[in-house]
Amino acid sequence: MANIVAIVGRPNVGKSTFFNRMVERRQAIMDNESGVTRDRHYGYAEWVGKHFTVIDTGGYVTGSEDVFEGAIREQVEEAMNEASVILFMADCHDGLTDLDKDFAKVVRGLKKPVMVVANKADTAEWSYNSAEFYGLGLGDVFPISSASGSGTGELLDEVVKHF
């Protein structure tokens, strides 16, 4: 199975910022049958000699009839199905929200390795706050700052153990 990491989580937690920091080469996936470029962001990353694909996803919003949100939801579900490891990202500044909890239910049902990433832990104080994400019941929480890169090394060390 290919090494694929999907970054999921509600909008604005910093998924794309982390993706951009992590990937060194981007790929616009072409759908062979239709020739249409799929609207999903794939990138290649390497850590301690291990290579893997990273998928950035849109936000996941539950309970909405909106067509656009439906498309995002579909995209995220597809990314989660493809992934060998899921990074569930939350935001230390906002703390644990209802949307995070709804999302966690979906992720838990997938029975794949999940790491909870508490982003925006820019300082030791914010990092301390990230403990509340243990309440999601998804497993270990990794405080990081996608802005500065702090904590990302420890996270990636754990990610590549799955490959």
**Feature table: binding site for GTP:** 9-16, 56-60, 119-122
Biggest CA pair distance of the chain: 50
Is residue 17 involved in binding Mg ion (CB under 5 A)?
Answer: no
Distance from the first to the final alpha carbon of the chain: 9
> Given candidates 6, 10, 14, 16, which one binds Mg ion under the rule CB under 5 A?
16
Is residue 120 involved in binding ligand GDP (CB under 6 A)?
Answer: yes
Q: Which residues make Cβ contacts (< 8 Å) with residue 92, sequence separation at least 6? A: 118, 119, 120, 121, 126, 127, 129, 130, 143
Shortest distance, position 16 Cβ to Mg ion, whole Å: 3
Residue 19 or residue 142: which is nearer to Mg ion going by CB?
19
Residue 28 or residue 30: which is nearer to ligand GDP going by CB?
28
Shortest distance, position 20 Cβ to ligand GDP, whole Å: 8
Q: Are 144 and 19 in contact (CB under 8 A)?
A: no
Q: Total residues at the site for ligand GDP (CB under 6 A)?
A: 14
Running DSSP on this structure, what letter comes out for residue 36?
P
Give CA angle at 41 (36, 44), nearest 5°: 115
Is residue 129 involved in binding ligand GDP (CB under 6 A)?
Answer: no
Shortest distance, position 111 Cβ to ligand GDP, whole Å: 24
Is residue 90 involved in binding ligand GDP (CB under 6 A)?
Answer: no
- The CA-atom distances, in angstroms, between 125 and each of 128, 154, 155 are 5, 18, 19
Which tokens belong to 118?
């508490």
> Given candidates 119, 127, 130, 152, which one binds ligand GDP under the rule CB under 6 A?
119
List residues binding Mg ion (CB under 5 A).
15-16
